[in-house]
Amino acid sequence: MNHFEWPVRVYYEDTDAGGVVYYANYLAYMERARTEWLRATGFENQRLMDEDGVVFAVRRASVEYLKPARLDDELTVHASVAQLKRASLLFKQEIRRGDELLCSGEILLVCVDTHTFRPTSIPNKIRDRIDRTG
């Protein structure tokens, strides 16, 4: 499941005084899509913490804002694994309103040990699932 799409509707709480989606909320939408991508691949954050002792932390985020989303817009958040390394995943993400690209970004996640908060290898069960579907 290398490419994933997640629908989002813009609510009043998502907008700023100008009536457009507040810039930080695009990052929240992207995170929701990555979380749901993980769930769709058969893994959940809480289970990974409990059973494997790992979490994914954002190491770097680069976002380009192209056009505003507005109240009640129906958006689709796209998430694709662009690169898989021993301890990290690079996601390419887009937020679209229909065919119109509103925002794009690259998000680098690092797999982190929950006890030491130091980078650690991505569990093989996740790596294998990404390799099979990517």
pTM of the model: 0.92
Give the CA angle between residues 18, 23, 27 to the nearest 5°.
150
| pLDDT above 60 for 1 | no
Contact predicate 8/29, CB 8 Å? yes
What is the number of structural domains in the chain?
1
**Catalytic hit among 14, 16, 52, 72:** 16
Read off the CATH number of the domain in which 69 is found.
3.10.129.10
> Which distant-in-sequence residues (6+ apart) come within 8 Å of 125 by Cβ?
43
Q: Phi first, then psi: give them for residue 32, nearest 5 degrees.
A: -60, -45
52 counts as catalytic = no
C-alpha pair distances (Å), 47 with each of 9, 54, 122, 133: 28, 9, 14, 21
Which pLDDT tens digit goes with each residue over 76-127? 999 999 999 999 999 999 999 999 999 999 999 999 999 999 999 999 999 8
* Domain membership of residue 43 as a residue range: 4-132
